[in-house]
Chains A and B, each alone.
Chain A
């Protein structure tokens, strides 16, 4: 009994949370993927120290992210990353059912890249810890250059395991697991253009929803006219994503890039993403980037903002990430490069500021904090600012 309490306390401390736990693991995959390098040469030696911040939708999340990467000999590169999210505030999902809170999430990652001739093998282990959620994942990537180094083929596999708890409910302990399969092809088309094609298939099993999220159903007997109950998701999910990218070099030392991505999964969510960016240089030391992104998705089959009664269907969701919505973001980055002598140990240092402003517009998720007849509350929308301030050093 004491043992149970101890476990419950260390794992699930007395506060509520609002960030989708499942999406936390997506971070892990994303971070691991970002480490993939070109074939034929190991990733460049570097260290980065970043301050990141997300402000919007009632949330304030910030913290550091530190990366260290170093080559060992000719064939090996090792890397380690330390990341913290300090979360405070409350999103609409939390405000509708609970009260603001504070929390911290720590993520650590180690990786190794092995190079042999034109083949690069990457391996990464990541774990993420917060008081009610623990996730571990392993990532394997193989990258091969062909056809005079014009073509790069990448295969990737990831396996993730999550353990999910719920604050205030010591008996709640669920698991989820995930496998990702990736295939990527990059092709140099001309001296100035590269195109890429990426596919990813992901399958999840287990407890796949956020244990704090609720659905609402009509209830004439309650004061508000509706009541909340916990979401119930299917215990499997299969998704496919495909992306096409292109980078083009402009003669005055600038570049333009574009990406189009489609997504479809077994929950009925269909989404597409479009990105466009422009990079411009001023002299040898300044790099400026401007970008825009548009994302649109169709809701999951089992999503509804308002159900007509309790347990109307065997699977039900009201998490706004499962709804029909779109978001548009505009961003800019500025980098100042400090070049040192090529004979130095430290070759270059950069100071960078990246800012993105995102606007979310929901088509079937309503803001229940507004006083209105049930089911006629205004549709929710919000905006957020994503800031990254970082210093990098190359050696």
Chain B
């Protein structure tokens, strides 16, 4: 004869509710700790000194070398076709380039797609006037210690690394514009 173990009946008792509450409180406080600590994790390391030189092939401007841009304010933008925020950012970059082109400002968009053809397809939809460089071997990305996608680096007229911005959120183009204006006035 099979014995059935009686199931404990504690449907709406207080004790199990308290232990559940404790567990939930534990989980929530754990989450809160994690969330608060995440604020500390965003410290971006700014490199100082001259921006490392590089030469890359571009879509329509032949081989482009950073050193040759001395005298101009340069915005280096690391982007990829598979990166949503990067795609959102491109039209804003174009607007920025158009606005300050005559004042000695150039954007170098470094594309990190392993397959550059994907970048070309995107550029058909979002045409840009600034040079698009292909870093499919990730050499320049490593050189600049890129640790977010996208990454924007501002280089002043003397070739010094001045600003590093990780990621892109709607409204960041205002920050870029401010920084570029300040560097142009120097």
Contacts and interface: CB of A to CB of B under 8 A. Distances in A.
A and B touch in the complex (CB under 8 A): yes
B95 interface: no
A179 B9 CA distance: 17
A74 B85 CA distance: 11
B182 interface: no
Interface string B5-21: 11111111000100010
Interface string A200-227: 0001011000000000000000000000
B61 interface: no
A342 B35 contact: no
A41 B119 CA distance: 21
Given A155-B27, A157-B27, A142 B35 contact: yes
Interface in B4-48: 4-12, 16, 20, 23-24, 27, 30-31, 34-35, 38-39, 41-42
B23 to A, nearest CB: 7
B126 interface: yes
A314 interface: yes
Contacts of A302: 4
Nearest to B91: A343
Interface in A289-345: 301-302, 313-315, 341-344
B87 interface: yes
Nearest to A302: B4
B185 interface: no
A144 B171 CA distance: 24
B86 to A, nearest CB: 11
A315 B8 contact: no
A236 B85 contact: no
A313 B4 contact: yes
B169 A236 contact: no
B7 A315 contact: yes
User: Top 7 nearest A-B pairs by Cβ distance?
Assistant: A234-B7, A342-B125, A341-B125, A313-B4, A74-B169, A205-B11, A142-B31
Interface of B: 2, 4-12, 16, 20, 23-24, 27, 30-31, 34-35, 38-39, 41-42, 84-85, 87, 91, 122, 125-126, 147, 169-171
